[in-house]
Chain A
Amino acid sequence: MAPDLTEIWVYLAREPLSALTMTLLAWLAALRLQRLCRRHPLANPVLLAVALLAVGLLVTGVDYRSYFQGAQFVHFLLGPATVALAVPLHRQWSSMRSAMLPAAVAILLGGMFAAATGVGFALLLGAPADVTASLAPRSVTTPVAMGIAERLGGLPSLTAVVVLCSGVVGAAVGPLVLNWARVTDWRARGLAMGTAAHGIGTARALSVNMTAGIFSGLAMGLNAVATALWLPVLWRLFQ
C-alpha cells in the first residue's frame, strides 16, 4: 500500500492538473468564507485563497515553482483581462467625459502621491532596493503593477501581495477616511478609491454608490496606464 501512495503523491505533486484544481478549489472555498463573514471588506477572497494555498504548500512541502506549473494557466489570463478593461472603460466613456479633465489631473497627481508615499516609507526605513521597487506601483491594479515592478527591478510576487493588501485596506477603511476628510462628492470619492485601491476599492465603491463605482473604475484604468508610463521613466532618472 505504501509504495502506491508514494507513487500517487509523486504524480499529484508533479502534474499541473492538481495545482490548477487546488487553485480553483481554494478560490471557491474563499468565496464561501467571504459569504460566511457577510462580505466584510477585510474578508477579501483573494487574500483568503492565497493564504489557504500558501499554507497548503508550506505544509505539504511542494515548492512554488512546481505549483506554478499548473497555476500558470490561471495566471496567463491576467494579460487578456487587462486588455478587457477597455470594454467597461468604453461603456462608461460618454457619461464621464465632461468631468474628464479634473478627473485625469486628480488621478495623475493622486497616483504620483501614492507611489511617492510607498517609496518614501521604504527609503525612510532603509528597505532594500528590490523591496522599494516592489512598493512603488502599489496603487496600480495587480497585473499592471507586476509588469511595472518587473521593469523597476522589484519582486513581482511581493508586488502582488502588497497591491492586494493595499486594496483590502483601502476598501475597508477608505470610506471612513473620506468621511473624515469631508469628501462628499461621489465622483471624488470614487476617484480616490480607484486611484489608491484599484479593483478592490472599485468593488467597494460600486457596492455603495453607482457614480462612485463608475469613477472608481475610470480611476483604476487611467492610473494603471498613467503610472505604467511615468513611473519607469522617473525611476530611471532618479537611479
Chain B
Amino acid sequence: MTGAITTLLVCQLAGELLARALHLPVPGPVIGMVLLFALLLVRHGEGGEPPAALSQVADALLGHLGLLFVPAGVGVVVLLHTLATNWLPLALAVGGGTLLSIAFTGRLAQALLLRLG
C-alpha cells in the first residue's frame, strides 16, 4: 500500500515538475494522471491488471472523491457577495449551459458513433 501511495505521489510530483519546467498550461496532477496511464499501458499492457495495491488505493480515493471536494466548496462563505451580485449569469451557465451541453454532446456522439464506430 505504501508503494501504491508512493506511485501516485511520484507521478503527481513528476507532473508538477514537468508543468513548471516546460511552462505547460495543464495542472500538474493531470500530467501525473497521463504519466501513470502511460506507465500502466507499458508495464501491464492493454487488458492487463495493475498491481492489486494500486487498484485498491485508487478505488479508495475515487470512492470518496466527493469528500475531497468539500473543503474547497466551503470556500463559498467568502464568495457570498460574488454569488449574490452574479446569480443570474451563474445560474444560467450552470443550469442552461449544462443541459444544452448534454443535448449537444449526446446528439453529436450518437451521430459520430453511427458513422465511425
Contacts and interface: CB of A to CB of B under 8 A. Distances in A.
B108 A106 contact: yes
A125 B117 contact: no
A158 B104 CA distance: 25
Interface in A172-196: 173-174, 177-178, 180-181, 183-185, 187-189, 191-193, 195-196
B102 A185 contact: no
A165 B105 contact: no
| Interface size classification for chain B | 35 or more
A214 interface: no
A164 B37 CA distance: 26
Contacts, number: 337
Contact of A93 (B33, B41, B62): B41
Contacts of A193: 102
B77 A68 contact: no
Nearest to B47: A94
A144 B36 contact: no
Contact of B79 (A109, A122, A161): A161
Given A64-B74, A83-B8, A84-B58, A177 B93 contact: no
Given A83-B33, A157-B79, A49 B70 contact: yes
The winner among B5, B44, B116 for most chain A CB atoms within 10 A is B116
Contacts of A44: 66
Given A117-B101, A144-B29, A80 B12 contact: yes
B105 A192 contact: yes
Interface of A: 23-24, 26-27, 44-47, 49-50, 53-54, 57-58, 64, 67-68, 71-72, 74-75, 77-91, 93-94, 97-99, 101-103, 105-107, 109-110, 113-114, 117-118, 120-122, 124-128, 131, 135, 138-139, 142-144, 146-148, 151, 155-158, 160-162, 164-166, 169-170, 173-174, 177-178, 180-181, 183-185, 187-189, 191-193, 195-197, 199, 219, 221, 224-225, 228-229, 231-233
15 contacts: A27-B66, A46-B69, A50-B73, A74-B67, A82-B30, A82-B33, A83-B32, A86-B58, A90-B41, A101-B117, A114-B101, A125-B92, A127-B86, A135-B93, A187-B117
